[in-house]
Amino acid sequence: MRSLRSRLLALWIMLVVSGMATGYLLFESYQQTANARLARSEELAARACRELADRYQFFVTGWSGGEIDDELKQQLAAVVQSALSGAAGVEGGIWQADTGSLAYAFPTYEGTGPKTDLPAAELNTIRDVNAEAQRSGGPSSIRQSGRSQVLIVHACPLRGPLTGVTGWTMTRAFTAEGPAYNQLLAGLLLLALTIFGSAAWLARLLYVWSLKINQIEAALDAPHAGTIDLPTLPRTGAPELDRLVEALNSTGERLSVERRRAAAAERLAALGRMSAGLAHEIRNPIAAMRLKAENALAVADGSRSEAALTSILQQVDRLDVLLRDLLEMTQAREPGLAEVDLETFLARTVETHRDLATARDIALTAGTGPASSPLPQFDPLQMQRALDNLIINAIQNTPAGGKISVDARRRGDLLLLQVSDTGPGIPDELRERLFEPFVTGRADGTGLGLAIVREIARNHRGHVRLVRSVGGAEFEIEVPWRPS
């Protein structure tokens, strides 16, 4: 599904393409108008030349020729004047190959007075076009394009008693002036103010909105003092986006309230389960001590007192271990970080449990860990306590002939401590609540070992997880390699 940004970008591209196409069509329309005006000017010059030829033919009818003098030239000028009087903007004359200009007139000239001088700048062009008409025996035209106008010179042969005589006409077609040119300029200006203005405004809108959306994304992605609550987003200044920001802030507040309620309910539920487990664990030793004491009192000679006291002391030791583990789990202590050589640390930890594993016919091995520099940093005492619990659990759940391995590896900036065994694995009904207090699969277990491991991992800003639960169990403690 396309985003709003891509749709606005497509609209911006359409506006630019539309503006370019419209500008091209306007220019082509102007070109066609200019070409049409140029064709009309050429036709006007040719028609004026034919009119001049007709007037000259009428003038020489019945005349057998004579000397070319000033009087004849004045008469020929009158013929030209009469022929071009109806052709606006057209000047012309009569030319003889040997003599040159015999007559010239520009009856529609809009200057301060009548124009009688042959245009000197175009004299060579006039001579060339007349020579071409004389040579070909038919009409001839020359077109010369300038920056703002096109010069059109036309010549046609004149029949009569004078030899080598041609008539010529000349006009100018202005391509950069007039209504069409003004309309083009007005159209292009309007186009620039509308289409390209709209494209520029849309481009700015796209840029500003992209910035504001990026600000919202950055605010949502940025960490906020370790909390998982949604951050309070600042207003952007755009009403549409601000409504979205307000909705997100309101949703974040409701989620925060609900999360706190859920956390409180979860804590109460955990406290209830922990209280029930603690009551159960304490009640059993107390019941055993009560039974022993009653049996000892039932015998008057005191023969059972020593055995009863010994059993009571054993139950007291059991309560002491239980309370110590409970305090270890509930009293979070900041770890004393130190650089630790993993190979030495793993060997020392495993060696503590070597005798117990050997007695149960279990192969207990330690890895060497990754050879990485700098050394990892963690609390060796706390981490050894965590591994002790995992190793003891593995020994108690692994049958004779099984294997237990303890190793460490590095993954990026993380240290992974692993304890795996070849025992029966973790029952399905325990997996979901495996790290909760007093959850155990053994009748003689307190269920605090894995809970203590979890708290030690949390103290190191990490966590513990069950990686494999079928075909043996594998636990993995993940902590930062070197905490910041």
Read off the CATH number of the domain in which 284 is found: 1.10.287
- Reply yes or no on whether the pLDDT at 292 is more than 90: no
What percentage of residues in the chain have a pLDDT greater than 70? 78
| Co-location of 285 and 346 in the same domain | no
Any domain includes 256: yes
pLDDT tier for residue 443 given thresholds of 50, 70 and 90: low
The pLDDT tens digits of the residues spanning 15-67 come to 777 777 766 666 666 555 667 778 888 899 999 999 999 999 998 888 877 78
pLDDT tier for residue 436 given thresholds of 50, 70 and 90: confident
Residue type for position 195? I
| Co-location of 41 and 99 in the same domain | yes
Any domain includes 211: no
Q: How many domains does the chain have?
A: 3
Mean pLDDT of 340-366: 91
pLDDT tier for residue 198 given thresholds of 50, 70 and 90: confident
Calpha distance 388→273 (Å, rounded)? 25
The reported pLDDT for the residue numbered 226 is 45
Domain boundary among 137, 152, 181: 181
Domain enclosing residue 17, as ranges: 4-181
- With beta carbons less than 8 A apart as the criterion, state whether 37 and 178 touch: yes
The reported pLDDT for the residue numbered 284 is 63
DSSP code string of 434-474: TTSTT--SSTT--S-HHHHHHHHHHHTT-EEEEEE-SSS-E
Give phi and psi for 483, each to the nearest 5.
-60, 140
| Low-confidence winner among 124-128, 136-140, 193-197, 338-342 (lowest mean pLDDT) | 193-197
| Co-location of 168 and 313 in the same domain | no
Question: And the tokens for 28?
Answer: 């082509």
Instruction: Name the pairing type of β-strands 149-157 and 165-174.
Output: antiparallel
Which of 366, 433, 422, 427 minimizes the C-alpha distance to 395? Answer: 422
The reported pLDDT for the residue numbered 324 is 66
Any domain includes 221: no
The reported pLDDT for the residue numbered 332 is 58
Which of 116, 47, 134, 118 minimizes the C-alpha distance to 83? Answer: 47
| Low-confidence winner among 168-172, 221-225, 459-463 (lowest mean pLDDT) | 221-225
Domain boundary among 181, 196, 219: 181
The reported pLDDT for the residue numbered 95 is 94
Mean pLDDT of 409-436: 85
The pLDDT tens digits of the residues spanning 150-176 come to 899 999 999 888 889 999 999 988 766
Instruction: Name the pairing type of β-strands 377-378 and 363-366.
Output: unpaired
| Co-location of 17 and 105 in the same domain | yes
Mean pLDDT of 121-125: 91
| Co-location of 408 and 280 in the same domain | no
Any domain includes 387: yes
How does DSSP classify residue 435?
Answer: T
Which of 287, 305, 286, 285 minimizes the C-alpha distance to 295? Answer: 305
- With beta carbons less than 8 A apart as the criterion, state whether 415 and 378 touch: yes
| Co-location of 46 and 177 in the same domain | yes
The pLDDT tens digits of the residues spanning 224-248 come to 544 566 677 777 777 777 787 788 7
The reported pLDDT for the residue numbered 53 is 93
- Reply yes or no on whether the pLDDT at 347 is more than 70: yes
Residues forming beta bridges with residue 480, ordered by sequence position: 414
- With beta carbons less than 8 A apart as the criterion, state whether 106 and 122 touch: no
The CATH number of the domain holding residue 387 is: 3.30.565.10
| Co-location of 314 and 384 in the same domain | no
| Co-location of 373 and 313 in the same domain | no
Any domain includes 225: no
What percentage of residues in the chain have a pLDDT greater than 90? 29
Reduce the DSSP state of residue 60 to 3 states and report it. Answer: helix
Domain boundary among 163, 181, 199: 181
Any domain includes 111: yes
| Co-location of 153 and 270 in the same domain | no
Any domain includes 214: no
Residues forming beta bridges with residue 464, ordered by sequence position: 477
Any domain includes 433: yes
The CATH number of the domain holding residue 137 is: 3.30.450.20
| Co-location of 325 and 351 in the same domain | no
| Co-location of 435 and 464 in the same domain | yes
| Co-location of 312 and 370 in the same domain | no
- Reply yes or no on whether the pLDDT at 222 is more than 80: no
Q: Mean pLDDT, the chain, as a whole number?
A: 80
